[in-house]
Structure 1
Amino acid sequence: MKKFCYLALTMLLFACHSDKHSRFGNEDETTGAATTTSAKKKPAGKKTAASTTTAVPVVGERVSPGTVIRSGPKGDIIATLADYIPVHCAPLKDGWYPVSVDIDITGAEYTKPLFRKGRKLKVNGVEAGVLEKDIRLPVATNGEKMWANLSGYTEKKNIRGGTVIETALINYLRQHKDHREEDMQAFIHNFKLEEDKSLRPYTLYFNYESGIDDPSPLYRMVLVCQGKQLIGVVHSRPLDLAGTTTRRLQRNFSIHYFNGIEKSLQEDFATKFNKFIVSVD
């Protein structure tokens, strides 16, 4: 069944895309409102852009051709990005995404991080765009590689809807209406969701917020499974799932429970999640 799910996802995602970008296995031209181990038990590690190879999971969103990064909404243009470059997006506000991307740098640039207009950009060795103005950027290293963080704002239209996890989940669940845990494995793999079984009897599959607004982010989305069934989705960004009822949780989270989930189970999970989430830093 698992193999069937992966095949089904592949067919779904590739059906309308024969160009090179389909190699990522995550592109879907759906448009729509876009709107995490366990959250903050251990701070989220440094996120780096995925390489352009077959079946690379979606970690962050992907941009459209000619995407420009600005200093603020309607601000000065900082950089132009190539098609399908991975970025991290904070929640959408007034039609603009705060975005962040880590670019490759040299040792000399690490010691003197002033970058000039016209400098070509690379993300994990892949051509990624060009700087449009002189700019000083924060730099970092993990001992193996060095990078600079380019951050700014871009319009909603520049982010490919099918790579926004909230939009992708809505579309995926339209095709997988039985809500079985095994049917969700392709989606879990495709968005590289982590697994946590510490909140028994529940299994959580999650990712973290972007880290743009908070350097030690909490969950962004959590698939909640129990008894081999997906019983609900915890989220921090707007999410509109058909056939669900919504309950507010602590720390500005909400959960969509699927219709038919027993009230006692809903209460049990909400109690355990709230107790956990208020205990983390």
Structure 2
Amino acid sequence: MKNFCYLALAMVLFACHSDKHSRFGNETETETSTGTANKTKKKPAGKKVAASVGAAIIGERVSPGTVIRSGPKGDVIATLADYIPVHCAPAKDGWCPVSVDIDISAAEYTKPLFRKGRKFKVNGVDAGVLEKDIRLPVATNGEKMWANLSGYTEKKNIRGGTVIETALVNYLREHKEHREEDMQAFISNFKLEEDKTLRPYTLYFNYESGIDDPSPLYRIVLVCQGKQLIGVVHSRPLQLPGATTRRLQRNFTIHYFNGIEKSLQEDFAGKFNKFIVSVD
């Protein structure tokens, strides 16, 4: 069953070359632009995050020839290679705010002015080229140094299969029994964190990109109880056919799957609302 889950995940989520999934390793290595080494505000789940990795690995990848601009229809800042990992905020009018953390040297960390034509890497892999002179914010976790390249790109440049909301809908079409066990391949691939604070529920979650908010809240939360996936909490648009929708505090929504008892729905909603209004 485990092997089947991983095979299904690969087929459904990432219809692309097999070597590209591991080239950049951003599910486990890329730091977020908000820099977990510099973040001091409390995360919703109250868990400590290792300084060497980003807390929220969203996993979007770009199409060939993607450019990052200074704003919607603005000046071109950089051109990215195919399948580069980026952090991506919600799209507006067809444009997505994006950021990518590029490898830099100690000298560049001291003087972070980067020249047009400079080729850059992400986790040691060729990732693109700068198209203008630019000064970038830099960060370090004591083990490596990086600069944050941020701007805008057209929504069409983001590979749809690597957007977690799209991937989740596709995955659930193939795993209709909604067993917690069957969700492990998805949880592993998107590096969702686990939290059991809201007992008897187990939450598997990631955070928003951090582009719009330096202390982001949840983006996707898989809610499990009794070894079953009972619902999905989300902050971005998500359509799950046949599910019952309920609004929660702080602009969250939950989709409960069919057959979930009303009392269980009310219990989780109450506990989640109480928790989410209490965090920074």
Band of TM-score, shorter chain: 0.7 to 0.9
Q: Tell me what 2:106 maps to.
A: 107
| Deviation of 1:7 (Å) | 3.5
Q: 1:43 to 1:135 in 2, by over 3 A?
A: farther
| Deviation of 1:11 (Å) | 4.6
| Deviation of 1:243 (Å) | 1.1
TM-score for the superposition, normalised by structure 1:
0.87
After TM superposition, the structure 1 = structure 2 runs for residues 1-281 of structure 1, keeping only pairs within 5 Å, are 1-13=1-13, 16-18=15-17, 20-21=19-20, 23=22, 39=44, 41=46, 59-281=58-280
Question: What amino acid maps onto 1:4 in structure 2?
Answer: F
Q: Secondary structure at the match of 2:249?
A: coil
| Deviation of 1:264 (Å) | 0.4
Aligned-CA RMSD value: 2.4
1:7-64 CA-to-partner distances (Å, cap 9, x unmatched) read 33235456x54564355799xxxxxxxxxx9626358667868xxxxxxx96431010
Give percent identity, aligned residues only.
82
CA separation in 1, counterparts of 2:76 and 2:142? 32
| Deviation of 1:253 (Å) | 0.5
CA separation in 2, counterparts of 1:225 and 1:60? 23
CA separation in 2, counterparts of 1:46 and 1:65? 31
The count of residues paired between Structure 1 and Structure 2 equals 263
CA separation in 1, counterparts of 2:43 and 2:221? 10
Question: What amino acid maps onto 2:227 in structure 1?
Answer: K
Q: Secondary structure at the match of 1:201?
A: coil
| Deviation of 1:5 (Å) | 1.9
Answer yes or no: is the 8 Å Cα contact 2:101–2:148 preserved in 1. yes
Answer yes or no: is the 8 Å Cα contact 1:105–1:148 preserved in 2. yes
1:133-182 CA-to-partner distances (Å, cap 9, x unmatched) read 00010011111111100000000111000000000001111111111111
CA separation in 1, counterparts of 2:53 and 2:154? 22
Question: What amino acid maps onto 2:46 in structure 1?
Answer: K
* Consecutive unaligned residues in structure 1, runs of 5 or more: 27-36, 50-56
| Deviation of 1:2 (Å) | 3.1
Answer yes or no: is the 8 Å Cα contact 2:247–2:254 preserved in 1. yes
1:193-249 CA-to-partner distances (Å, cap 9, x unmatched) read 011111100000000000001111110000000111111000000001111011010
CA separation in 2, counterparts of 1:173 and 1:24? 26
Q: Secondary structure at the match of 2:83?
A: coil
| Deviation of 1:280 (Å) | 0.6
Question: What amino acid maps onto 1:267 in structure 2?
Answer: E
CA separation in 2, counterparts of 1:164 and 1:269? 26
Q: Secondary structure at the match of 2:250?
A: coil
